[in-house]
Amino acid sequence: MTHPVVASVRNIESGEDLAYFSAPTVRDADAQRPFLAADIGGTHARLGLVAPQLEGAPRVLSYRSYRCADHPHLDGIVRQFCAELDARPRELVLASAGYLHAGVVVNRNLAWPLVPATLAQELRLERVRFLNDFEALAHAIAYVDEHSSVALKTAFAPDAQQGPIAVIGPGTGLGAAVWFPGEPPRVIATEAGQIQLAARGGLEREVLDRIAAPDCHTPYEAVLSGPGLHRLYAALCAVYDRYPSYAEPADVVAAAEAGDEVAYETLQMFGGWMGSFAGDLAMLYGTTGGVYLAGGFLSRIVDLLRCGPLVERFLDKGVMRPFLHKVPIRVVDHGQLGVVGAASWHLHTRTAKQAPG
């Protein structure tokens, strides 16, 4: 006979003991132990201690965000997080931009190399699992509703059945993944941010000429990212023969909100290219379920995006315009979604592997 297990962990935000309750089976009592879920980007490392749940969103017992630049190695961040909680988890599921090749995460934007097997050894974990960060975000999309997202474009005559959903996010780089409905739903990670940047004639072409090296590949990520926003601003300043006054993307956004003409035009061009990119993915994957733009960066400029060319550029795809009218666009704050999505993927795939038959 098995008995329910009651365990607790101290919430580092409130100081309270959080209990979770489960009824383990003889077959896998360890499956009820809390585990670590991490969302590692080029700027921030987000960690959560997660309690397994059979239904609904994984329960994040405690959560912390760390600046990657403040830490020489990822294992130091994980050790600090566990020490603050006095937690000794056995598993870590790691979501990060890039892809796994020969046991190493390939990504030029990370602060340090990521080798899951080495990380498991250094932290004395039984297992470290890896998935793409936007694959993780797509797995979390089922837990996003109208109260936790903001509409940029509603669907005209939406389909009765929910279709695929594209999740796009400009941060240190440009990530994208697609969620497909089904039992169970499926998610595919993409490297769509590396697609060749397409510029229209006129000002966009002048800007691209100042960003791109001759006869070299220039991806959408070169402009649709935090660094890309500043790159756009600097290129526009060069076109207008003005000195670039702002050194950080956040400064460009603040200047645009304050009425700086070049900074404002930068945000408009950024929105136009984002609309074109999102429209391409919507057509490619038939995303009648919608396009979600994810990231704290985007959630701060919703009003600027709404009054700019993003939606019109999304729709401006010739004969595909009627189809794209059916596709909603929403902005969702990244926050804990990467951690929740990584945990959800881990629980689902672990359960599937352990299912009999």
352: confidence class by pLDDT, cuts 50, 70, 90: low
Instruction: Report the chain's terminal Cα–Cα distance, integer Å.
Output: 23
Q: Are 309 and 268 in contact (CB under 8 A)?
A: yes
| Measured CA angle at 186 (ends 330, 280), to 5 deg | 45
CA distance 253 to 258: 9
- The reported pTM is 0.81
Please check the confidence at residue 255 and state whether its pLDDT lies above 90: yes
pLDDT attached to residue 266 = 97
Closest CA to 150 of 342, 40, 294: 294
The CA-atom distances, in angstroms, between 63 and each of 38, 152, 261 are 10, 29, 39
CA distance 164 to 286: 7
Lowest mean pLDDT: which of 7-16, 49-58, 63-72, 157-166?
A: 7-16
Q: Which residues is 59 bridged to in the sheet?
A: 51
Write out the H or E segment, with its range, that includes residue 178. strand 174-180
CATH 3.30.530.20 is right for the domain spanning 5-139+338-354: no
Closest CA to 336 of 87, 98, 39, 130: 39
pLDDT tens-digit map of 11-58: 333 343 333 223 333 345 556 789 999 999 888 899 999 998 767 778
What are phi and psi for residue 34, nearest 5 degrees? Answer: -60, 150
**Domain ranges in the chain?**
5-139+338-354, 155-327
pLDDT tens-digit map of 96-109: 877 788 888 887 77
Closest CA to 16 of 95, 82, 85, 68: 85
CA torsion angle 83 105 172 282 (round to 10): -120
Alpha-carbon radius of gyration of the chain:
22
Q: Are 215 and 162 in contact (CB under 8 A)?
A: no
Average model confidence (pLDDT) for the chain?
85
Beta pairing class for 99-101 and 17-22? unpaired
Please check the confidence at residue 3 and state whether its pLDDT lies above 80: no
| CATH hierarchy code of domain 155-327 | 3.40.367.20
Q: Are 184 and 348 in contact (CB under 8 A)?
A: yes
pLDDT attached to residue 213 = 86
pLDDT attached to residue 262 = 97
Other CB atoms within 10 A of residue 320 CB: 14
